[in-house]
Amino acid sequence: MILDDIVQKRKERYQSRMAQKPLAELEAACQAIELSQEAPFPFYETLSQKDHFHFICECKKASPSKGLIAGDYHPADIARSYQEAGASAISVLTEPDFFQGSDQDLQAVRQASSLAILRKDFIFTAYQIYEAKLLGANAVLLIVSILSDQDLDAFQKLAHSLNLDALVECHDLEEIERAKAVGARIIGVNNRDLKTFTVDLDNTQRLRQHVPEEIVFIAESGVSQRNQVAQLEAGKVNALLIGESLMRAEDKGQVLAELRGDSHD
């Protein structure tokens, strides 16, 4: 399965990375950050505002299912165009082998944008959460299907202790229940099955009823048209994480405006 391959490759890379820079170094660097001087949980605070539908716009160069998506890839410029077009937050892929992402991409976006940033990666160790903080992220992705309940709980608590939010990603009802059991306050439903990479746009709607409204509920993947966005809005989805359709567009701001329903402005 593709997901297993991605996680295995990530573990191999981190063996050498963690040997070069021990966890204690990252912990010490994070302890030196004055968390009290930061705005508390900007990712959650933005997306929990229910007055309008939110777009989390993604910087993604490639994917396992589609290969190279953006040959001319400049994350800082992309982030600026997203912010100008009304994005609520930005997601940055940092996985290098299957998505051609990098830590430097996230750092570039952090310098270019004041929006909350999600580090989108395949997190299996606390090390990556400390890294995310030091790179300038405001949130991390925790994929339920690759984590034990114990790790899911521990990683979310660690993230919160660093003033990072956790977007807890699910694909089916069992994973939704696991996310709720650890007290997730941001749940994302991926319409793409990460085991097969097939897309089912109805997945979000089927699972919405099982998530209390006080939890921020995010749809992920497979949306490319305004009528699909309107359907999510009507179904009480709070936000959409969208990547490929924007990344393929020459004028990303215009496409986002159309998806937002304000292209007439």
* 265 within domain boundaries: no
Is the pLDDT at 263 greater than 70? The verdict is: no
Residue 201 — pLDDT band, cuts 50, 70, 90?
A: confident
Domain tally for the chain?
1
Active-site residue, 120 included: yes
Q: Which residue has the higher pLDDT, 93 or 201?
A: 93
Residues whose CB falls within 8 Å of the CB of residue 110, separated by 6 or more in sequence, listed in order? 117, 135, 136, 137
Please state, in angstroms and rounded to a whole number, the distance separating the CA atoms of residues 143 and 42: 21
pLDDT at residue 262, rounded to an integer: 78
Among candidate residues 95, 131, 175, 220, the one labeled active-site is 220
Residue 65 — pLDDT band, cuts 50, 70, 90?
A: confident
pLDDT at residue 10, rounded to an integer: 98
The residue type of 67 is G
**Beta bridge partner(s), residue 189:** 170, 219
* 114 within domain boundaries: yes
Among candidate residues 169, 191, 203, 238, the one labeled active-site is 169
Residue 91 — pLDDT band, cuts 50, 70, 90?
A: very high
pLDDT at residue 71, rounded to an integer: 87
Is the pLDDT at 265 greater than 50? The verdict is: no
pLDDT at residue 123, rounded to an integer: 99
Average pLDDT of the residues of the chain: 95
Q: What percent of the chain has pLDDT over 70?
A: 99
Q: What is the pTM of this model?
A: 0.95
Q: Which residue has the higher pLDDT, 223 or 140?
A: 140
Burial class (CB within 10 angstroms; exposed 0-12, middle 13-18, buried 19+) of 136: middle
Residue 78 — pLDDT band, cuts 50, 70, 90?
A: very high
Active-site residue, 227 included: no
Active-site residue, 244 included: no
Q: What percent of the chain has pLDDT over 90?
A: 90
CATH number, domain containing residue 109: 3.20.20.70
* 14 within domain boundaries: yes
Active-site residue, 169 included: yes
* 61 within domain boundaries: yes
Residue 264 — pLDDT band, cuts 50, 70, 90?
A: very low
* 151 within domain boundaries: yes
Among candidate residues 58, 95, 131, 244, the one labeled active-site is 58
Rounded to an integer, the average pLDDT of 170-190 is 97
Is the pLDDT at 158 greater than 90? The verdict is: yes
* 185 within domain boundaries: yes
Q: Which residue has the higher pLDDT, 76 or 193?
A: 76
Residue 51 — pLDDT band, cuts 50, 70, 90?
A: very high
For CA atoms 259, 261, 263, 265, the dihedral sign is: negative
Range of the structural domain that residue 80 is part of: 2-33+40-260
Place of tokens 């990712």: 43
Active-site residue, 50 included: no
Active-site residue, 66 included: no
